[in-house]
Amino acid sequence: MSSPSPAEVENLVVLFVGFAFATFVYGLTFFQTYIYFSRYSNDHTWTKLLVGALFVLDTTSNCLVSDRLYHYMVKMFDVATEVLYATPAFCIQYLLSVILTMIAQLFFASRLYTVCGGPTSITSKSVSTAVLFCAFIAFVFGLTSVGQFFQQRQLSTFASPSMAIIAGISQCFAAVANIIILIAMCWSLRPARYPDMLQPQGVFENLAVLFVCRGLGLVIIQLMYLGTFVASPGKPYWIAVQMVAPRVYTNTVLGLLNTREVKHGVGLNEEETLSDRQDSQNNSFPGQLRFRDIKTTQQSLSFSPQGESSRGSEIEEACKSYADNQNLESISSHCSEQNAYDKASLS
């Protein structure tokens, strides 16, 4: 048996690396879905349907990625794979990645519509419309790429100008939508606009909020996808990123939902009122308990001189009333004993 060619080794290595990372990130999808349904039991119906749809689509996509690896590394073990062909499972998985990208961007568009000012704000309408427009263009051109996938079936044809332009436009508009999401989320959810909002503490929490709740992870994975494709559309490098990208989109949405605090089984967004969040601390998990303001706690525990004197007078009055009650009880018991003695002497 002849040794594999460099092109064949390159293709198989890219497929295996993409499968390994995609499977690892899918484990986070499974874990986060379990956390959501166990913690937010009374959450809104539409949010539950969103999480369920993301889990089903991401699970199906990951199964198709596994089928792709099985096809090239097991079924075609004795066949040279210097040129990769798109199997039906590959085409369907590519379609699911386009759908998952669209769902995640629609979710963030709805978040921006809320945090940027609501239905009465022109900024809210403008930003949400811009994200929806870019997401729609990316979705339409992504569907066109899927149709070309089903027709051509040869991945090297993406190097052709027509297919490269269509796929590049789809990925470019998706990247623009993610950049708008990142900038708008960071601008809207700043302490100046929401002074009562809980602020992250430490490097880890700040990175988690930036990557998940603000959408930096979406920007990074989409720019990696766009960069690898534009740099070499005829090479398989972008395929590995394409395997991982849908799971990053899914876990970003699930992570944002799972970082909310809980109140009676309903998730509270980070821009919710302070009173609602303080009430929710009694209903949240131990890991969710946080102190809003240490100074307020210290002020509530401190005693002023006037308060101490008033409390001292109250204690003295209570002691006096207690002593009076004791004296009354002793007098009444003495009188009852004297009456009993008189009755006995008369008898």
Q: If you ran DSSP here, which 8-state letter would residue 81 be given?
A: -
Which residues are registered as beta bridge partners of 268?
A: 261
Residue 338 is predicted with a pLDDT of 53
In degrees and rounded to multiples of 5, residue 247 shows phi and psi of -70, -30
Q: Which two tokens stand for residue 215?
A: 């959408």
Q: How confident is the model at residue 281 (pLDDT cuts 50, 70, 90)?
A: very low
Q: How confident is the model at residue 200 (pLDDT cuts 50, 70, 90)?
A: confident
Residue 158 is predicted with a pLDDT of 67
CA distance 305 to 106: 58
Whether residue 308 has pLDDT greater than 90: no
List Cα–Cα distances, 47 to 151, 295, 310, in angstroms.
36, 36, 53
Residue 4 is predicted with a pLDDT of 67
Cα angle 108-262-37, degrees, rounded to a multiple of 5: 75
More confident residue, 129 or 233: 129
**What is the pLDDT of the chain when averaged over all its residues?**
79
pTM value? 0.76
Neighbours of 80 (CB within 10 A): 12
Percent of the chain residues topping a pLDDT of 90: 40
**What angle separates helix 237-258 from helix 216-231, to the nearest 10 degrees?**
170
Between strands 261-263 and 266-268, the pairing is antiparallel
Residue 304 is predicted with a pLDDT of 43
Across residues 16-20, what is the average pLDDT? 91
List pLDDT tens digits, range 25-78: 999 999 999 999 999 999 999 999 999 999 999 999 999 988 888 877 777 665
- CA-atom Rg of the chain in angstroms: 33
CA distance 129 to 113: 9
Whether residue 253 has pLDDT greater than 60: yes
3-state secondary structure of 283: helix
Percent of the chain residues topping a pLDDT of 70: 73
More confident residue, 106 or 263: 106
CA distance 22 to 18: 6
List pLDDT tens digits, range 75-128: 766 555 666 777 888 889 999 999 999 999 999 999 999 888 877 889 899 999
More confident residue, 101 or 147: 101
Whether residue 13 has pLDDT greater than 90: no
Whether residue 162 has pLDDT greater than 90: no
